[in-house]
Amino acid sequence: MVARHDLTTDPRLQEDLLQARRGTAFFARKLNELSDEELDGGTLLPGWTRRHIVAHVGYNARAIARLIEWACTGLETPMYSSPEARGEEIQFGATLSPIALRNLFDHSAVHLSVEWRDLPDADWSNQVRTAQGRTVPASETAWMRTREVWMHAVDLDNGATFNDIPAPVLERLLKDITSAWRTRGSDTGLLIKVTGTAENGTDLTFGDTSAADPTIVTGPLPAVVEWAAGRGSSGVAAAGPDARAGEVPAAPMWI
């Protein structure tokens, strides 16, 4: 008999899957609020219409489902055959009719959820490879999807903001971004302080904590993540060498 609930019994993984599914539901709500004509509208991502974002999120679900298949069978099934193929797929998807584009999102999301549901505990630690070439356990796919759906729901530019994203997702996303900066060495002299999150009154701190005279960017968690992700600087302030007249510098690239 087909399982009616997730086979995994790991509480942490169950919570991660729940967060990914909640993000998918939130993206679906913001998508469904758009008329077919509004799918042609612009987004927060330069050069992409809403059609491109919906196609990307739909094909991303299919790609992650391939990783779960890999973890289940042991047969290598990459997310994409090449970066070029991934880009071509998105461009093609953006040309689909509105009903086909919406079906792509709906069906791919259900398919991925079922693949997650039916993967037993023993297979979640099996190693797969991301589109960026990182080798990770299959359990990482829950976070990979969480990041996509929550952020791109905002990118649809249909009223969603970083304030709608749950704090645990925002914190993990900020850790991802600042870790990418550190790996590339692009955070030198840059310190990020998140206000109003710690119960003991201590701000969360990321970035180059060893800098003698850092440029310090501060603000509440949603605003700092919005800035760090390159989506805007509203709600953050900056001081230091790179903050001329208090102007907030652009965040380093992270992907």
Q: Considering only CA atoms, which of 194, 252, 243 is closest in space to residue 219?
A: 194
Strand order in the sheet with 237-239: 204-207, 190-195, 215-220, 237-239
47 and 105 inside one domain: yes
Q: Pick the residue with more confidence: 203 or 254?
A: 254
The Cα–Cα gap between 220 and 224 comes to 6
- Tell me the HSE value of 248 on the side-chain side, using a 13 A CA sphere: 20
Instruction: Give this prediction's pTM.
Output: 0.92
Q: Considering only CA atoms, which of 32, 48, 45 is closest in space to residue 98?
A: 32
Q: Considering only CA atoms, which of 115, 143, 146, 140 is closest in space to residue 24?
A: 146
Asked whether the predicted pLDDT for residue 207 surpasses 60, the reply is yes
As for how many domains the chain has, the answer is 2
Range of the domain at 64: 11-160
| CATH classification at residue 206 | 3.30.1050.20
Please say whether the beta carbons of 157 and 51 come within 8 A: no
Asked whether the predicted pLDDT for residue 145 surpasses 50, the reply is yes
Residue that finishes a domain, picked among 160, 185, 207: 160
Amino acid 143: pLDDT:
98
- Which range among 70-79, 103-112, 163-172, 186-195 shows the weakest confidence by mean pLDDT? 186-195
pLDDT band at residue 240, thresholds of 50, 70 and 90? confident
180 and 155 inside one domain: no
The whole-number average pLDDT for the span 67-82 is: 95
145 and 40 inside one domain: yes
148 and 22 inside one domain: yes
Asked whether the predicted pLDDT for residue 255 surpasses 90, the reply is no
| CATH classification at residue 121 | 1.20.120.450
Residue 112 to residues 64, 106, 107, 178, 239: CA-CA distances in angstroms? 7, 10, 9, 29, 44
The whole-number average pLDDT for the span 138-152 is: 98
Asked whether the predicted pLDDT for residue 198 surpasses 60, the reply is no
107 and 220 inside one domain: no
26 and 97 inside one domain: yes
42 and 131 inside one domain: yes
Residue 184 lies in a domain: yes
146 and 233 inside one domain: no
Q: How far, in whole angstroms, is CA 159 from its chain's centroid?
A: 18
